[in-house]
Amino acid sequence: MSKLIRRVAIVGGTHGNEWTGVYLVKKFQQFPALTTRSSFETITLLANPKAIELNRRYIDQDLNRSFASEDLLNPKLINYENQRARDIVAQLGSRDQPQVDVIIDLHSTTSNMGLTILPSTPDPFNLRLSAYLSQIYPDVRVALGMNCTQDAPLLRSLSPLGFTIEVGAVAQSVLNADLFLKTEQLIYAVLDYIEALNQGKPLDVPSRLTLYQAIEAIDYPRDAIGNLQAFIHPDRQFKDYEPLQPDEPIFLTFAGESIRYQGNSTVFPIFINEAAYYEKQIAMILTEKREIELDKEY
Amino acid sequence: MSKLIRRVAIVGGTHGNEWTGVYLVKKFQQFPALTTRSSFETITLLANPKAIELNRRYIDQDLNRSFASEDLLNPKLINYENQRARDIVAQLGSRDQPQVDVIIDLHSTTSNMGLTILPSTPDPFNLRLSAYLSQIYPDVRVALGMNCTQDAPLLRSLSPLGFTIEVGAVAQSVLNADLFLKTEQLIYAVLDYIEALNQGKPLDVPSRLTLYQAIEAIDYPRDAIGNLQAFIHPDRQFKDYEPLQPDEPIFLTFAGESIRYQGNSTVFPIFINEAAYYEKQIAMILTEKREIELDKEY
């Protein structure tokens, strides 16, 4: 028997120019009945109001890398996102003293990720909920990050339960109706799933789950001082989750030369050509595709 | 007989986060032979270096609205883009004392505009060159802005000859290889066309040209204090240049209500859901589709 979920947080605008989450949270704040369920409380949060106002990813540093426990405790870190991170911890609770049970953090990406669920941890609750969602929505995929633990500096990692939702491809600073509406339905499905679980009438979950486990980030080819020398190969652009075989092209240099994947086995790239990852020196993240058996319990 | 073209300017990074033009100009600067032709000089320019460095559209104001003659002469206007505009006039010449004959300004858009040519003026040189390009590249379309004169405050309007190239759909702050390569080929075709013209061996131009004439900009539905109340209707997203009939849906409110086009005749929207136009209160620009006969001469 699982423990009850008492509070769920839906967070948008952790990155201020990712409008899908910003406007979904604004909609939920305007129409609170949409996220109200009888067995738990839903709270909503716009995480980075100043970045939202200025329509930027962040002001001083990436808020979604500002939640390392040691950084939260370091009094020398006082920039805008350092302070926002502490304000958010005051609202949602710390890792040691959580005030919410589940965090859903809404992001968007210029990569063609469809609706991707990135669980905060491999907790059976997260995996079973992910399996449920990927069963009812065929464009939902589930990816485990390289740092899929509560030690990550991410907002979602304040809680072991919950996940990031990444939707794309959508440009920064625009609303795409189709992806907005699909994300909205996905959130209602999450809330309904938790409601049923709390009421002792859990919804059917498939026994197996396809997971994409991140194994390596690849940067763009650059010159000695960091300037880009190539772009994503046109055959690879928008091909997130499609198999990449050894020796297939991944980049095309500005001079016209193809650069091929040097690995020895088939991988499945995601976050291909995400706008905000150029500065993180990530052109794509390679994953391995795995089928896992789910625990019957939780 | 047409006059000779002596100097052509290729400009990128007028908006710092439109990377197609930024990286094309960087490529041309690295490999000058690519844009060298025997009968004229090609110069290249990164128009807004500080915005490029900070990966923003602009620093203080839109550089591509900073070239009104009265603003250039107004000593009270001293922000970064005001000063950049004057520096660019010093390089490319003013409307009265041009230093270049043709300006090609490279932009990108989150709208699905393919390769759009926006002539600086309806000068026969521009229209014939546009007709040539749309004949050899089927995804080239030609649109005349509402202010298609040298009185516009645009960078391109420093010269009567030339045009903006808008390519999309591509997110801000990313490189899309396919659109980059197509834009590059388009520029070479422009240079080759001018070379042939200068050499008295003009290339064949079709006798007719399809033009999309801008007639009206439409804003998103907003509340009394300007907040968005709707997004582009999912049936209309990415449908630039497709006919819009009276009573067809154009917006969908966050509450789920369709808002329909109130006009009386068929129009052809462009710049649908361009990220940078939310702040300009433009959701799309309506155009009329026209077929024109081209002058035989120039």
Q: What is the pLDDT of residues A5-16, one digit of tens each?
A: 999 999 999 999
A252 and A153 within one domain: no
Residue B297 domain-assigned (yes or no): no
Count the domains in chain A: 2
The residue whose two tokens read 């772009």 is A231
Whole-angstrom Cα distance, residue A13 to residue A19?
A: 7
Residues of chain A neighbouring B30 (CB-CB closer than 8 A): 254
Compute CA B103 distance to the chain's CA centroid, rounded to the nearest angstrom. 11
Are B152 and B277 part of one and the same domain? no
DSSP secondary structure, A38-51, as one string = TTBEEEEEES-HHH
Size (chain A), residues: 298
Would A274 be classed as within a structural domain? yes
User: Which of A27, A177, A276 lies closest to B232 in CB terms?
Assistant: A177
Q: Do B78 and B202 lie in a common domain?
A: yes
Nearest-angstrom CA–CA distance, A182 and A150: 28
Cα-based torsion angle of the residue sequence A113, A116, A121, A127 in order, rounded to the nearest 10 degrees: -140
What is the per-residue pLDDT across A215-235, written as a single tens digit (0 to 9) for each? 999 999 999 999 999 999 999
Candidates B27, B172, B176; nearest CB to A173:
B172
Which of the residues in chain B have pLDDT under 70?
Answer: 1-2, 296-298
**For position A3, what pLDDT does the model report?**
79
Residue at B143 is within a domain: yes
E-strand stretches of chain B: 7-12, 41-46, 102-108, 114-119, 140-144, 162-168, 208-218, 230-232, 249-253, 258-260, 268-270, 284-293
In angstroms, rounded to a whole number, what is the distance separating the alpha carbons of residues A11 and A22? 8
* A291 lies in some domain: no
Of A189, A210, A231, the residue that ends a domain is A210
Please check whether residue B290 lies inside any domain of the structure. no
Q: Which residues of A13-45 are buried (b: 16+ CB within 10 A; e: fewer)?
A: bbbbbbbbbbbbbbbbeeeeeebebeebebbbb
Average pLDDT taken over every residue of chain A = 96
**Cβ atoms of B26 and B51 closer than 8 Å:** no
**Which residue segment(s) compose the domain that B247 sits in?**
216-285
Cα distances (Å, whole numbers) of residue A29 to A12, A35, B227: 11, 9, 14
Which residues, including other chains, have CB under 8 Å from residue B230's CB and lie 6 or more apart?
B220, B221, B251, B252, B253, B254, B259
Strand order in the sheet with A249-253: A230-232, A249-253, A258-260
* pLDDT value for B104: 98
pTM: 0.95
Q: Is the dihedral angle over the CA atoms B172, B176, B178, B181 positive or is it negative?
A: positive
Q: Angle at which helices A124-136 and A177-198 pack, to 10 degrees?
A: 130
* Domain CATH for B224: 2.20.25.160
- Contacting residues of A for B175, CB less than 8 Å apart: 228, 231-232, 273
**Strand-strand pairing, A249-253 and A230-232:** antiparallel
Structure tokens at A131: 């399996």
Whole-number Å distance between alpha carbons of B125 and B129:
6
**Domain at A129, CATH number:** 3.40.630.10
Structural domain includes residue B202: yes
Is B233 a known ligand-binding residue?
A: no
**Residue A14 tokens, joined:** 């952790």
Share of chain A above pLDDT 90, in %: 95
Single-letter code of the amino acid located at B43: I
Residues A226, A198 share a domain: no
The last residue of one of the domains, among B180, B210, B240, is: B210
Tell me, yes or no, whether B278 lies in a domain. Answer: yes
- pLDDT 10s digits, A131-190: 999 999 989 999 999 888 999 999 999 999 999 999 999 999 999 999 999 999 999 999
CA nearest neighbour of B216 among B140, B142, B271, B149: B271
B167, B193, B210 - which closes a domain:
B210
Residue A296 has pLDDT above 70, yes or no: no
Q: B178 and A231 in contact by Cβ < 8 A?
A: no
pLDDT tens digits, B60-83: 999 999 999 999 999 999 999 999
Q: How far is CA B74 from the centre of its chain?
A: 26
Give yes or no for residue A125 having a pLDDT over 80: yes
A41 Cβ contact partners less than 8 Å away, ≥ 6 residues apart? A6, A7, A8
| Average pLDDT over every residue of A17-36 | 98
Distances in whole angstroms, Cα of residue B232 to Cα of each of B167, B236, B253: 20, 7, 9
Q: Are residues B167 and B22 in the same domain?
A: yes
In a domain, B184, yes or no: yes
- The verdict on whether A70 is a catalytic residue reads no
Looking at CA atoms only, how far is residue B66 from chain A in angstroms? Answer: 21
A193/A94 same-domain check: yes
Contact A278 B178 (CB under 8 A): no
Q: Do residues B264 and B230 share a domain?
A: yes
- Cβ-defined contact of B254 to A30 (cutoff 8 Å): yes
Statement: residue A1 has pLDDT above 70: no
Reduce the DSSP state of residue A236 to 3 states and report it: coil
Same domain, B199 and B275: no
Interface of B with A (CB under 8 A): 23, 26-27, 30-31, 55-56, 110, 169-178, 180-181, 228, 231-234, 237, 252, 254-255, 273-276, 278-279
Helix, strand, or coil here: B93? strand
The DSSP output letter for A167 is E
Residues B175 and B254 in one domain: no
A186 and A239 in one domain?
A: no
SS3 B70: helix
Comparing C-alpha atoms, which of B153, B150, B106, B114 is closest to residue B134? Answer: B114
| Same-domain status, B129 and B23 | yes
Instruction: Let me know whether B200 and B220 are in one domain.
Output: no
Give the CA radius of gyration of chain B: 19
